[in-house]
Structure 1
């Protein structure tokens, strides 16, 4: 009778620990660790540049293209605000750099 209760409990512990280990190995270790004949690094840190590239392409293709962004800045109101902001920033920067 105790075997019927013990088997699911042991299986639950094994499943829990394998899931915890799998999730930790996604992120850890951040830097490669040399284990003799094998170099170990977390999956996401190892593929960070590939993931960033594919995510950027996905955003550009599916969500927001470069043309859409430029179209948003083409209106005269936006251009005027942009010019005013840049002018203020440039004046402040010049005032900081050049003595009076």
Structure 2
């Protein structure tokens, strides 16, 4: 039988890193949107340079959605691990004659 090893601290660190990325991307999206609506850029000499900004919010939204989903999956995994551990402890207690704990 294979053994699954996991480090809860590593899950937490990964979750925090992904959450930080989500926050950063959200701020970038806000800045990009504000910049894309700035008259200096829209009507000025930089019009060609910032012409791609209309596509960026959708791409950023996709990234944010995927990173946020990864965060939710980490939380769901941790909750499943906790439930499995509690069920395992309860089963051991029953086997040892201690009843459910």
Q: TM-score range by the shorter chain?
A: 0.3 to 0.5
Larger radius of gyration: 1
TM-score (norm 2): 0.33
Higher RCO structure, 1 or 2 (CA under 8 Å, sep 6+): 2
